[in-house]
Amino acid sequence: MKINQHYLQLEKSYLFTMIGKKVAQFQQQHPEVDIIRLGIGDVTLPLCPAVVEALESASREMGVKETFHGYGPEQGYDFLKEKIAGYYAEKGVTLALDEIFISDGAKSDLGNILDLFDADNTVLIPDPVYPVYVDTNIMAGRKVVFADADASNGFLPLPDENTDADIIYICSPNNPTGAVYDHAGLKAWVDYAKKRDAVILFDAAYESFVADPSLPRSIYEVEGAKEVAIEFCSFSKTAGFTGTRCGYTIVPDALVRGGVALNGLWLRRQTTKFNGVPYIIQKGAAAVFSEEGRRQTLANIDYYRENARILADTLDRLGIRYTGGKNSPYIWMECPNGMKSWEFFDYLLENAGVVGTPGAGFGANGEGYFRLTAFNDHENTEKAAKRIEKLLSK
Amino acid sequence: MKINQHYLQLEKSYLFTMIGKKVAQFQQQHPEVDIIRLGIGDVTLPLCPAVVEALESASREMGVKETFHGYGPEQGYDFLKEKIAGYYAEKGVTLALDEIFISDGAKSDLGNILDLFDADNTVLIPDPVYPVYVDTNIMAGRKVVFADADASNGFLPLPDENTDADIIYICSPNNPTGAVYDHAGLKAWVDYAKKRDAVILFDAAYESFVADPSLPRSIYEVEGAKEVAIEFCSFSKTAGFTGTRCGYTIVPDALVRGGVALNGLWLRRQTTKFNGVPYIIQKGAAAVFSEEGRRQTLANIDYYRENARILADTLDRLGIRYTGGKNSPYIWMECPNGMKSWEFFDYLLENAGVVGTPGAGFGANGEGYFRLTAFNDHENTEKAAKRIEKLLSK
């Protein structure tokens, strides 16, 4: 039996292991320091009451013969797809129910979607980036090229007509940089993809953090995008579902390559290799769109936004350049005084007891940058902000 | 962009669509007939009280900051892995926790595991068979060969030394035939795989239906199996989780090919393309192993077993040959009077109002056979059995 040799080309990621090790070591040497973690991309607020109530009620349904649910449709229940279609309608995007696939999260589908594509395709990925885009393509032996995201383009690279690409990843609001494309930026990518018969994989996991109404929250807000883009979204950041696992993927009927509708291919993939998201969880996700659910989840997002504002204001006062913080839970800051990413990590941990994520861990262009997240308490975020301000204004 | 052309080689499965269409048509023409469905492989009893209580309680935990769970380990929580290790210990199989991966069901992992293998491997699949084994390999362009399961070998094919294979599927108790391998049968496959450096993918989804203590419920009950086999199991049939979605996959540390441990490859696959099963669902699954949960889920299995016995006894009285029914929820019967599968389907529907599944839908060797399932009420099963007996004893 021959194993998939491409797996051996994967680099081991030591980023979060290394962070954990350094923090543990520092805490051991300085047990008195109250370390504040602004490094992790995980939510901290619990599920909102409307969702918990729906989960409990669906659990009870499953215990009664008349309301029990066995195998559901692999692509998800209509009761949830209808809510999602309604959510898109608010953004001015019309979706048919068969264009919506309920998933167990954006990460799974972003990896699994690659099943539909030949190994002989060139993949264009921004740098810095969420590492999963690169790894899932290395696993299949695809050629990967990078689009430089840096200070010169505000970490929002535009298409380079000299670069050939068949599959293009866009994450907006971006992880890790927090930068958000405007309509013109996304339109440039849609046009580029159309010209090349390429497909855009649009990761919208952080869309609910967009506060500026002029910024697109779905790539389908851009004309013609349905012919070139698949969109991935998730309840993880919208409603704190990181441990509850539900998301959705949009494969428009208009997306056809080589005479084949990708919607049909994806349906075949999902009905063959997936058995749907738990009924209980889909009921919980549907409650996110109830009147109460909307109000409660928005309140949580506003809570995180306030944390981002606290951190952004601090950096503004310090005159430190950053992206994100306004329409994103992430703040991507330049390391002060020309420090390198890991150098600043140590400096901040040792002198302020604050943990962030070294930008170098997200790609070559991340060197010299640092990621802070809004996923913490107001109290801790304020404390961390004060410590950062005190340290860096010296 | 080039699509994965292998998808175009997939045959559309019309089996259950065709059944649905024929049944609907018949019901329309004969609205007075009370049709009984013994065709579907889905459970009918609700989740047991111990599981529902655990799901409700975990849902409430998720609504409180102190007990909220965000991202969990992709490979599953130890609290559930420990229960599974305990369950295997009862069968005399010792597993390390890192050999157990919690999944959202056997179907997902049976498809996704193929990521680890090169496209250039020959796959050996029994015929008749659960269609997903074939389709997932066609999607990757692998060569598929079949092992004939038929009356001559009791639908339990043994290795043929003249057949070369790198990846071998075994499902025991089998879907659709209900046949169960004994130790000697599995040992023959383990030895064959070892000699060829092949890997066995062992589907144990129906293991909890094995009542005969002399029959293996895990391939690891066979010596040396840890060096050649990956085992897939599920709470779907054990505890009625078809719509609740939880299973587990065992990749033993001893399974090494080309100097590479498959356990490490699968861990890398899962941490890159999967984000774990919902915390709530894992809590529900753990409750299956509590004292109450064990008692309640066993009672449900006994309920289905009684249905299988009713059907088997009927066929015994009619002198119709079949496999399964004793250690399986499936009964695989010879169509009477030399009828073909679809011919018997029509005959049974039109003359007894009973729906089953034509064996021909599961592969070439299924022609002339018919699958009945134990997943229904006692009342309906008894009614169906009486109608079958009346019709076929004429």
Residue-by-residue DSSP string for B100-166:
EEEES-HHHHHHHGGGGB-SS-EEEEEES--THHHHHHHHTT-EEEEEE-SGGGTT-----TT---S
Q: Tell me what percent of the residues of chain B surpass a pLDDT of 70.
A: 100
- Average confidence (pLDDT) over A222-227: 98
Which residues of B does the annotation place in the binding site for pyridoxal 5'-phosphate? 71, 106-107, 130, 175, 206, 234-236, 245, 275
Q: Which residues of A touch B5 (CB under 8 A)?
A: 118
Please tell me the predicted confidence (pLDDT) of residue A13: 75
Q: How far does the CA of residue B295 sit from the closest CA of chain A (Å)?
A: 16
Partners of residue B195 in chain A, C-beta under 8 Å? none
Cβ–Cβ below 8 Å for B260 and A8: yes
Closest CA in chain B for residue A60: B52
pLDDT tens digits, A124-181: 999 999 889 999 999 999 999 999 999 999 999 999 999 999 999 999 999 999 999 9
B14-32 average pLDDT score = 92
Which among B226, B200, B215 is positioned nearest to B327, based on CA atoms?
B215
Q: Give the other-Cβ count within 10 Å of B66's Cβ.
A: 6
What pLDDT score does B383 carry?
A: 98
Chosen from A245, A271, A283 to mutate, greatest number of chain B CBs within 10 A? A245
CB count within 10 Å of CB A356 equals 26
A205 residue type, one letter:
A
- Alpha-carbon distance of B194 to B196, in angstroms, equals 5
Cβ-Cβ pairs closer than 8 A, A with B, add up to: 232
pLDDT at A328 over 80: yes
pLDDT given at position B41? 85
- Longest Cα–Cα distance in chain A: 68
Residue of A nearest to B135 (CA): A272
Is pTM beyond 0.90? Reply is yes
Q: Residue B394's pLDDT is what? A: 76
**A118·B4 Cβ contact <8 A:** yes
Instruction: Answer yes or no: do B139 and A46 touch at CB < 8 A.
Output: no
Annotated binding site of B for substrate: 14, 41, 107, 130, 175, 275, 371
pLDDT tens track for A40-77 = 889 999 999 999 999 999 999 999 999 999 999 999 99
* Average confidence score pLDDT of chain A: 97
- Record: contact A257-B3, CB cut-off 8 A: yes
CA distances from A299 to A294, A303, B107 (A): 8, 6, 38
The CA-based angle B278-A362-A392, given to 5 degrees, is 105
CA closest to B200 among chain A residues: A1
Chain A residues with CB-CB distance to B115 below 8 A:
4, 139
Locus of tokens 């954990």: A20
* Count of Cβ atoms closer than 10 Å to residue A148 Cβ: 15
- Give A-chain residues touching B280 at CB under 8 angstroms: 55, 59, 244, 280-281
Please tell me which of the candidates B59, B70, B136 has its beta carbon nearest to residue A52.
B59
pLDDT tens-place string over residues B320-373: 999 999 999 999 999 999 999 999 999 999 999 999 999 999 999 999 999 999
Q: Which residues of A are annotated as a binding site for pyridoxal 5'-phosphate?
A: 71, 106-107, 130, 175, 206, 234-236, 245, 275
Among the partner residues B167, B242, B278, nearest to A70 by beta-carbon distance: B242
Q: What would the pLDDT profile of B255-300 be if each residue is shown by its tens digit? A: 999 999 999 999 999 999 999 999 999 999 999 999 999 999 999 9
Residue B14's pLDDT band, with cuts at 50, 70 and 90, is confident
- Structure token pair of residue B174: 């089998």
Buried-state track B359-382, b at ≥16 Cβ within 10 A, e below 16 = bbbbbebbbbbbbbbbbbeeebbb
Interchain CB distance below 8 Å, B243 and A72 = yes
* Spatial separation of the C-alpha atoms in residues B293 and A340, rounded to whole Å: 55
CB A248 within 8 A of CB A78: no
> In chain A, which residues have their Cβ closer than 8 Å to the Cβ of B111?
272-274
